Amino acid sequence: DIQMTQSPSFLSASVGDRVTINCKASQNINRYLNWYQQKLGEAPKLLIYNANSLQTGIPSRFSGSGSGTDFTLTISSLQPEDVATYFCLQHNSWYTFGAGTKLELK
Amino acid sequence: QVQLQQSGAELVKPGSSVKISCKASGYTFTSYDMHWIKQQPGNGLEWIGWIYPGNGNTKYNQKFNGKATLTADKSSSTAYMQLSSLTSEDSAVYFCARGWPFAYWGQGTLVTVSS
């Protein structure tokens, strides 16, 4: 089974900061990785698919990069509405989620 | 627009079963897999399995074999997940999500297993 190691598990940042969240796969998953945002009490929202493609309607401050085993979600300028938990999901072999990164405002 | 509307919260007793639903609208139900995902506080998210409503084919995460049973009713565009032999470990929020890239999710159904 493919394991996804997400870091950090908790992140505190200020409005306007550049924020990066990482996911590392236990084996090569090519670009079969998505990023999601989940706010409290809501369903997850797709931000990035296939590692670096921005989902329709998602602000351009969100971007994704990586391939193989190492992936990054970047928020270029943090906004108050970005407070949420973020997680990755791989689909190279079945489906495995990262453990999540809780992002809060400093 | 695509919508997935899940059934309401359930409080069930240990050892019993529960069946939750996910009604799809805004797209051709039989053309996309429907996936089910479990979310427990502190335990993150786990993929349970999928069903292809077009032909009823299913695939399960080995961990949920015997625990979850996925079905679909084409006439009502509704997917179902039955969970059996419930224990406290099954207490969680369960989501349905339309096939990869999981751009559409239901609102979640809270299942609480308690005597």
Dump pLDDT digits (tens) for B10-36: 999 999 999 999 999 999 999 999 999
Q: Omega of the bond prior to A44 within 30 degrees of 0, cis?
A: no
Residue B9 clears pLDDT 80, i.e. is over it? yes
Closest chain A CA to residue B42: A99
**A102 with A9: CB under 8 angstroms?**
yes
Place of tokens 């297993």: B113
The beta-carbon contacts of B24-27 under 8 Å, at least 24 apart in sequence, are B24/B77, B24/B78, B24/B79, B24/B98, B25/B77, B26/B1, B26/B2, B27/B2, B27/B98
Closest chain B CA to residue A49: B101
Give pLDDT tens digits along chain A (106 positions). Answer: 999 999 999 999 999 999 999 999 999 999 999 999 999 999 999 999 999 999 999 999 999 999 999 999 999 999 999 999 999 999 998 999 999 999 999 9
- Cβ contact (<8 Å) for B95 and A43? yes
pLDDT for the residue numbered B41: 80
Q: Which positions ≥6 away from A64 have C-beta within 8 Å?
A: A33, A35, A47, A48, A51, A52, A53, A54, A71, A72, A73, A74
Closest Cβ–Cβ partner in A46, A87, A97 for B103? A46
Residue (of B85, B63, B77) closest to B32 by Cα position: B77
The CA distance from B73 to B25, in Å, is: 13
Distance from the Cα of A101 to chain B's closest Cα (Å) equals 10
Closest chain B CA to residue A94: B61
Comparing A24-28, B3-7, B39-43, B90-94, the range with the smallest average pLDDT is B39-43
Residue B115 clears pLDDT 80, i.e. is over it? yes
**A87 with A22: CB under 8 angstroms?**
no
Residue of A34, A53, A95 to mutate when probing chain B, most B C-beta within 10 A: A95
Strands, sheet with A62-67, edge to edge from the N-terminal-most edge strand: A4-7, A19-25, A70-75, A62-67
Residue of B35, B48, B105, B109 to mutate when probing chain A, most A C-beta within 10 A: B105
| Reduced DSSP (H G I as helix, E B as strand, rest coil) percent helix, strand, coil of chain B, to 5 | 10, 50, 40
Residue (of B20, B28, B31) closest to B109 by Cα position: B20
Residue B43 clears pLDDT 80, i.e. is over it? no
Q: Which positions ≥6 away from A74 have C-beta within 8 Å?
A: A18, A19, A20, A21, A62, A63, A64, A65
The per-residue pLDDT for range B47-95, each reduced to its tens digit, is: 999 999 999 999 999 999 999 999 999 999 999 999 999 999 999 999 9
The CA distance from B7 to B109, in Å, is: 6
Cα B70 to Cα A81, B51, B97, distances in angstroms: 36, 6, 13
Residue of B100, B104, B107 to mutate when probing chain A, most A C-beta within 10 A: B100
pLDDT for the residue numbered B42: 72
- Cβ contact (<8 Å) for A44 and B101? no
Closest Cβ–Cβ partner in A43, A55, A100 for B107? A43
